[in-house]
Chains A and B, each alone.
Chain A
């Protein structure tokens, strides 16, 4: 039994079920990120943990106590909202201690908690300001401070960074991560940004259409995605999905595909069990960084295959150069070192890290387990 248990939880509006049998156990101190496109049910799930939405079926329990039907204020949770939801008529200090005041905490204790959290978040000088006089980043910190003073069992974050500009978002991301490392609090964090999910979490639940598609550590989700949805949703640029056949060559299973020049290319699988798929179609999943120039290839990899293919477009992005080309009839993106010289229209010799390649069943779109 975990610290926060979501077991068999469903949610319906009338006859439409929007969340289907969600099962997630969160350990104390874990940072769980719910990630998915809009409408996938991640915010609904968060609101159900908070008690802002009713649970149609299943149980949610915190510290072993079933929370179904318990009022939000009695769940010992705190929530940071996307719009920060700071009370506009109160000062920063009043905003942060409002919850304590409502829970009947005496003034001296409130002030003590406020001073501690304000120091932690560097809000000391802003305590007498109104939210309207703060910048976006400061408001964000106040919203987190308001959650922190309560010392709740679980912190709930609802897309807290999506209202910030790109640079501030990266800074705040690091700050949240630092805060979590320091305070070891249990956090459930909702975002649609896969980078936030990968960088912040200890575990990720990738959601789509009301189903948890995959629950695992960032590495698991990134390296061994459960299906094509997870593979293409997580990571930027997205994982390349290339139609291929499996054939035996020199006693090992190979992926056979056609390059942009119409030539057949064979790439040896690292996974022995691909033998079972000989003669059948698969979808080969290759991350852009597994498709690179020979000098940039992973030196530790045991299985680097050579691939020659005409380049369609080269996009230097400063730290990397992205190359778009056709492989197996699909557009494919490769990630090359920044100073690799590639000329669009000419052929280039790529190195494919087949150790990192994954294969999907084209019918179920699930990953073929290694």
Chain B
């Protein structure tokens, strides 16, 4: 009797499990298909794409489109490839992420452990910045960048992204540090540690998970941003703008294989960040809400 129910339970368990895996597999395929098409076609000569099936594997494998996209494709008027723009993006994203994450961490620390009158209002105002649509600030931002003399430069883009990112990073760190016991800060105060010493020695060493979240979030947003790059990039346009110039150029033959290679190149850094730090991402997102 009990043996029968048990085996029924086991077999139903197996059926559900198989079903779940089937559905998961289906979704994985669904999401991987576009990527498959991009990779496959970036490794074909152009005539194979124009003359044949998009889905099929290349008959002659070639990395020519990749080299072309990287170093010699026509971007706007210059045949420079995406390389200089990739560099622009890197020069923009690294300081922008570092500064906004650092500021967010200090803001979170102050807002939770050095409470002052009106701190919640300040936090609320900072949160506002998360909800302001980008388009609204374009013109005032252009004016400010012009007055500061950093319009059309990488420092200008860094400033824009830091300003926009600080709301989010502050939110992350504030919620993370809210769960951090204040008694520890008090103990460190009695031990004689000052404002920055407490931050550096007590809080930062346990901020790994939320830092990963903040870095991934900021990196993806800054790297993938198109609007600010196109509006304020000037001579130092980021990768996204260059990719657009490459893909939507209206003259000459559309080199789809080069476009695919370029698109993958543009997406590669964010992909890499996710693969390397992704598992900390979920862990860090949960850490603020559930203590542990």
Do A and B originate from a single complex?
yes
Q: Which residues from chain A sit less than 8 Å from chain B, CB to CB?
A: 50-52, 71-73, 77-79, 81-83, 85-89, 98-99, 102-103, 146
How many whole Å from B102's CB to the nearest CB in chain A?
19
B29 adjacent to chain A (CB < 8 Å): no
**Set of chain A residues within 8 Å of B186, measured between Cβ atoms:** 50, 52, 72, 79, 81, 85
**Set of chain A residues within 8 Å of B192, measured between Cβ atoms:** 73, 99, 102-103
Q: How many A-B residue pairs have CB under 8 A?
A: 56
In angstroms, Cα B197 to Cα A361, docked, is 56
How many whole Å from A189's CB to the nearest CB in chain B?
16
In the complex, the chain B residue whose C-beta lies closest to that of A71 is B189
Pair B181/A85 contact, Cβ less than 8 Å:
yes
**Set of chain B residues within 8 Å of A85, measured between Cβ atoms:** 181, 183-184, 186-187
Binary contact readout B109-132 vs A (1 if CB under 8 angstroms, 0 otherwise): 000000000000000000000000
Residue of B188, B205, B206 near A98 (CB, 8 A) is B188
In angstroms, Cα B186 to Cα A83, docked, is 12
Residue of A81, A89, A103 near B187 (CB, 8 A) is A81
In the complex, the chain A residue whose C-beta lies closest to that of B205 is A89
Cross-chain pairs A/B with CB under 8 angstroms, 20 sampled: A51-B190, A52-B186, A52-B190, A72-B186, A72-B189, A78-B190, A81-B183, A82-B183, A83-B181, A85-B181, A85-B183, A87-B187, A87-B202, A89-B202, A89-B205, A98-B191, A98-B193, A99-B192, A102-B193, A146-B191
Pair A73/B183 contact, Cβ less than 8 Å:
no
Of the listed residues B183, B192, B201, B205, the one surrounded by the most CB atoms of chain A closer than 10 A to its CB is B192
**Set of chain B residues within 8 Å of A78, measured between Cβ atoms:** 190
Pair A87/B184 contact, Cβ less than 8 Å:
yes
Binary contact readout B153-187 vs A (1 if CB under 8 angstroms, 0 otherwise): 00000000000000000000000000001011011
In the complex, the chain B residue whose C-beta lies closest to that of A80 is B187
In angstroms, Cα B197 to Cα A82, docked, is 23
**Set of chain B residues within 8 Å of A98, measured between Cβ atoms:** 188, 191, 193, 201
In angstroms, Cα B201 to Cα A77, docked, is 21
For chain B, the bracket of interface size reads 10 to 19
Q: Which residues from chain B sit less than 8 Å from chain A, CB to CB?
A: 181, 183-184, 186-193, 197, 201-202, 205-206
**Set of chain A residues within 8 Å of B184, measured between Cβ atoms:** 85-88
Q: Which 3 A-B pairs have the closest CB atoms?
A: A73-B192, A102-B192, A99-B191
**Set of chain B residues within 8 Å of A50, measured between Cβ atoms:** 186, 190
How many whole Å from B123's CB to the nearest CB in chain A?
21
**Set of chain B residues within 8 Å of A102, measured between Cβ atoms:** 191-193, 197
In angstroms, Cα B195 to Cα A71, docked, is 12
**Set of chain B residues within 8 Å of A83, measured between Cβ atoms:** 181, 183
**Set of chain A residues within 8 Å of B188, measured between Cβ atoms:** 87, 98
Pair B190/A79 contact, Cβ less than 8 Å:
yes
In the complex, the chain A residue whose C-beta lies closest to that of B183 is A85
In angstroms, Cα B193 to Cα A78, docked, is 13
How many whole Å from A151's CB to the nearest CB in chain B?
14
How many whole Å from A85's CB to the nearest CB in chain B?
4
How many whole Å from B182's CB to the nearest CB in chain A?
9
How many whole Å from B52's CB to the nearest CB in chain A?
59
In angstroms, Cα B19 to Cα A293, docked, is 75
**Set of chain A residues within 8 Å of B187, measured between Cβ atoms:** 79, 81, 85, 87, 146
Seed contacts A81-B187, A83-B181; 6 additional CB < 8 Å A-B pairs: A52-B189, A73-B193, A83-B183, A85-B183, A85-B186, A86-B184
How many whole Å from B198's CB to the nearest CB in chain A?
10
How many whole Å from B75's CB to the nearest CB in chain A?
47
In the complex, the chain A residue whose C-beta lies closest to that of B186 is A52
How many whole Å from B179's CB to the nearest CB in chain A?
13
**Set of chain A residues within 8 Å of B201, measured between Cβ atoms:** 87, 98
In the complex, the chain A residue whose C-beta lies closest to that of B189 is A72
In the complex, the chain A residue whose C-beta lies closest to that of B185 is A85
**Set of chain B residues within 8 Å of A103, measured between Cβ atoms:** 192
